[in-house]
Amino acid sequence: MNTVISGTVVKFGDNINTDIISPPQYMELPVAEAAKYAMSPVNAGFAAKADPNTIIAAGSNFGSGSSRETSPLTLKHLGIRVIIAKSFARIFYRNGINVGLVLLECPRIDDIADGDQLTVDLKNGRIENIAKAVAYECDRVPEHIMRLIEQGGLIASLKKRFGVES
């Protein structure tokens, strides 16, 4: 997988819970439809503007609440590849990694602003803020999680284990 990812930040605050990321009334729709409403309770225009160039940067406790995998799945459908947060809620963290997203915890998230251009170096756990000419260190990703990320998520890992073509 690509271990260097570049993009533009859309910034969120603390405690972005799963009722915000994946509002419950749309969960009965296919992921592609539900994705149109991702983040809508706090940022109604987010989904329409999000694309593979979007990097989500958020405060503490991102993804708190439900175990609903529609949260990372709708974000992934919109093209999001990386989410950087001060901290993640635990079920969201596992779900995000499992579906193939890159989730990084960065203590200096407050220095990152909406619209910033970032280059994320996954292997070295570094984020470069191009315009501000600053680099940030991320918390070390545990080895077993790193292996999952490198394989592209849990499904890819299971396919490999069961000898099925990806």
Partner 1 sequence: MGKTMSEKILAKAAGLTETRVGDIVQAKVDKAMMDDILGPRVEIAENMRAIYDKVWDRDKVVIISDHYTPPATIAQAEIVKFTRDWAAGHGIDNYYEFCGPCHQIMAENGHVLPGTLVVGTDSHTCMGGAFGAFATGVGSTEMLGVLLTGEIWLKVPATIQVSWCGLLPPRVMAKDISLKTIGCIGHAGATYKAVEYIGDTIKALPMDERMAITNMAVEMGAKAGLMSSDDKTYDFLARHGFHPAPMETASDVDAIFENVHVFRADELKPQVASPHAVDNVTEVGNVVDTPIHQVYLGSCTGGRFYDLVAAADIIKGKKIAKGLRFLISPASAKIWRHADAAGILAILADSGATILAPTCGVCVGLHSGVLAAGENCLSTSNRNFIGRMGSRAANIYLGSAATAAATALTGHITDPQTL
Element (H, E) at 136: strand 134-137
- Residue 41 as a binder of partner 1 (CB under 8 A): the answer is yes
- Smaller CB distance to partner 1: residue 29 or 135? 29
Give least dist CB 119 to partner 1, A. Answer: 28
User: For residue 117, what are its two tokens?
Assistant: 């251009």
Tokens of 160: 């490999």
**Residue from the set 47, 58, 78, 89 that interacts with partner 1 by CB under 8 A:** 89
Q: Segment 15-34, which members bind partner 1 (CB under 8 A)?
A: 15, 17, 19-20, 23-25, 27-29
Assess 124 for contact with partner 1 (CB under 8 A): no
| CA-to-CA dists, residue 155 to 24, 74, 141, angstroms | 25, 17, 20
The C-alpha angle 153, 3, 84, rounded to 5 degrees, equals 75
Contact between 148 and 97 under an 8 Å Cβ cutoff? The reply is yes
Task: Give the shortest CB-75-to-partner 1 separation in angstroms.
Answer: 13
Strands, DSSP E only, in 51-133? Answer: 54-58, 82-85, 102-105, 117-121, 126-129
In the set 117, 128, 146, 155, which binds partner 1 (CB under 8 A)? Answer: 155
Is 7 a binding residue for partner 1 by CB under 8 A? The answer is: no
Single residue of 4, 13, 51, 90 touching partner 1 by CB under 8 A: 90
In angstroms, the CA 89 to CA 62 distance is 6
8 A C-beta contact, residue 74 and residue 34: yes
Report the residue number, 82 or 89, with the smaller CB distance to partner 1: 89
List of residues contacting partner 1 (CB under 8 A):
15, 17, 19-20, 23-25, 27-29, 41-42, 60-61, 64-70, 72-73, 87, 89-91, 94-95, 98-99, 142, 144, 153-155, 158-159, 161-162, 164
